[in-house]
Amino acid sequence: MNASVVYYTKSGNTKKIADAIGVEVGTQAGTIDNALTQPVDLLFLGASVYKFGIDKAVLTFIDTLTPAMVGKVAIFSTSAMSDSGYPILCKALAAKGIPVVDQHFYCKGKFAFANKNRPNEEDVQNAKTFAKSAMMA
């Protein structure tokens, strides 16, 4: 199974998790600005949640995806406060006819004075465990 890891972040929290997932699945994580150039069986898609929503750039990226390019998607996210990104991303991907693996990964991210030192090493290890599991889904 071939996999790709893409993410969007403003603070760097999601990049840290994306890089860990990329190491685990044997590929380099890249931003959503680097469009997919070849089909993948599994796309790990990472997004930060801002004010209980997903940045428009991520939804615009999803609009470029097709079932011919992406077999299925594994979602991961970071946020200072909420894991509300998962249902939003699932809905957008379903509208494109792209299945989402059942499990997703979320961890707290540092923002201002909240969640200092997050994502931490435990979060990184949990992201790697998630990546292994998603590869077998």
> How do residues 61-90 score in pLDDT, each as one tens digit?
999 999 999 999 999 998 866 666 788 899
- 84 or 54: which carries more pLDDT confidence? 54
CB-count burial class (<10 Å; 0-12, 13-18, 19+) for 38: exposed
- The count of C-alpha atoms lying within 13 angstroms of the C-alpha of 59, restricted to the half-sphere facing its C-beta, is 13
Q: Is the separation of the CB atoms in 91 and 62 below 8 Å? A: no
45 three-class SS: strand
Q: What is the pLDDT of residues 15-26, one digit of tens each?
A: 999 999 999 999
pLDDT tier at 29 (50, 70, 90 boundaries)?
very high
Distance CA 52, CA 62 (A): 18
- pLDDT, position 73: 98
- 113 or 101: which carries more pLDDT confidence? 101
pLDDT tier at 51 (50, 70, 90 boundaries)?
low
- pLDDT, position 12: 85
Domains of the chain: 3-136 (3.40.50.360)
Is the pTM for the entire model greater than 0.85? yes
Q: Which of 50-54's residues contact partners 24+ apart within 8 Å by CB, and which partners?
A: 50/10, 50/79, 52/81, 52/82, 52/84, 53/84, 53/85, 53/88, 54/85, 54/88, 54/89
